[in-house]
Structure 1
Amino acid sequence: MNGYGFTFCAARLVALPSGALYWPEFGCLVVSDLHLGRSERYARRGGVLLPPYETAETLARLRRDVQQTDPGVMVCLGDSFDDTEAVPDASGLRAIIGDLATNRRWIWIKGNHDPRPPISIGESAREWHLGPLVFRHEARKGDDASGEVSGHFHPKMRLAGQWRSCFLVDERRIIMPAYGRYTGGMACDRPPLRDLVQPDAIAVLTGPRAYPVPLLRAVPARRPS
């Protein structure tokens, strides 16, 4: 699996190289920011023309993770669709998701791109609780975030001259990487990401394997006030 196992708020979790998060105890697989239909939205709105393959590629990776973990619960942490019109039926998106959702609970967390997920498969919620964890799209500021798992910011870290998508993990919260392509990213040494996690946080890099790096390697020393 090449995943990185760690304990978070008494939950034993596995960060997968793909950017998905697996919770074996509950058979729960979590992904964030799929942004399905991004190239279609850009073309529809007269923006940059991108190769229209990212939806199929993202769903193929998701299928591999689902086949590997066989979750009973699938949680998508918002911005699963690039907007409420981004459901290209020609690509068979509905059929693919319907197949993946067979015999499992599928939960769409509402995001800023898709406050009304444009697909009727599964269920939709502003946030969702399971055991000691709460799943929402965007991290909440403050100290009341214990057990929070969120997405939205697409964290990335530069290491050895290369940018890598990453999980940010401290004792209170997990901020997940974007699972979809064409999503860009935010450097984890920049606000607001730098200010959302504690100084002793780790970044779990995605790629061929998932592995942890102390966040202090990416965060420059702050100037004294």
Structure 2
Amino acid sequence: MVPFSFASQEFRLGASRALFWAEENALLVADLHLEKASFFARHGQMLPPYDSRATLERLADALRETGARRVFCLGDSFHDAQAVERMEPHASGMLAALTRATDWVWITGNHDEDANAPGGTVVEELALNGLTLRHIARPGAPETEISGHFHPKLRVSIRGRSIARPCAVASEKRLILPAFGALTGGMDAGDPAILKALQPARAIEAIVPAGDRLARFPLWRAAA
């Protein structure tokens, strides 16, 4: 995981798309979308039913790597309100073990506000150590925030090839995390909806871990 600063706090961002908050010894993840495959299967689009297992395995790996004792899930942790009931026993057992082993907080999102989240604490948003954790960014709000919802991806062309990578997107007071889930699509990081969500801002950039450093890509700058 690669260190970087946001809002005078020290974080580390990993290729897994998790954010480690050093001062709080906490792992932040957004948009797990657990049981998305089973949701689509119920509607006739058959997908391999292992997305929840893969997502939770990566989350367990990130906890082992960082030693974090707290987990903040920034909304849309479940793909729909019935996701918990559809979880297969292996994934359900993994989730139960993770929520028992850590101080776990579910922040509700637009997909899972009615989901019966197992273990942990459920809140709409959380103010902690000068930052507000929520699902959807609130442009113009006075607080400094970290959110999810948009599943940002950076698309670049390298040697004639188009490559897309999940990324974080940041302005001075707002940070949007990439989707952590194994079965999540993405929105172009420079999409007007994302740029609007990060306002007001002097500049907006995409942030992508690249080995032992962070690659930063300017997306927008206020007119002089």
Which consecutive unaligned segments of at least 5 residues does structure 1 have?
A: none
Show the counterpart of 2:97.
99
- In the TM superposition, 1:71-150 aligns within 5 A as 71-87=68-84, 88-144=86-142, 146-150=143-147
Show the counterpart of 1:12.
10
Show the counterpart of 1:213.
216
Q: How many residues of Structure 1 are paired with residues of Structure 2 in the alignment?
A: 216
Letter of the 1:64 counterpart: D
Aligned-pair distance for 1:49?
Answer: 1.6
Aligned-pair distance for 1:206?
Answer: 4.9
Calculate the TM-score normalised by the size of structure 2: 0.88
Calculate the TM-score normalised by the size of structure 1: 0.88
Show the counterpart of 2:164.
163
Show the counterpart of 1:66.
63
Show the counterpart of 2:179.
178
Write out the 4+ residue segments of structure 1 that deviate beyond 3 Å after TM superposition: 206-210
Q: CA RMSD in A?
A: 2.1
Residue pair 1:94, 1:119 contacting (<8 A) in 2 also: no
Which structure features the higher share of strand residues? 2
Which consecutive unaligned segments of at least 5 residues does structure 2 have?
A: none
Aligned-pair distance for 1:208?
Answer: 6.0
Q: Does 1:192 align with 2:189?
A: no
Structure 2 residue matching 1:189: 3-state secondary structure: coil
Structure 2 residue matching 1:7: 3-state secondary structure: strand
Aligned-pair distance for 1:37?
Answer: 0.3
Deviation track 1:160-179 (CA, whole Å, cap 9, x = no partner) reads 32011100122101001000
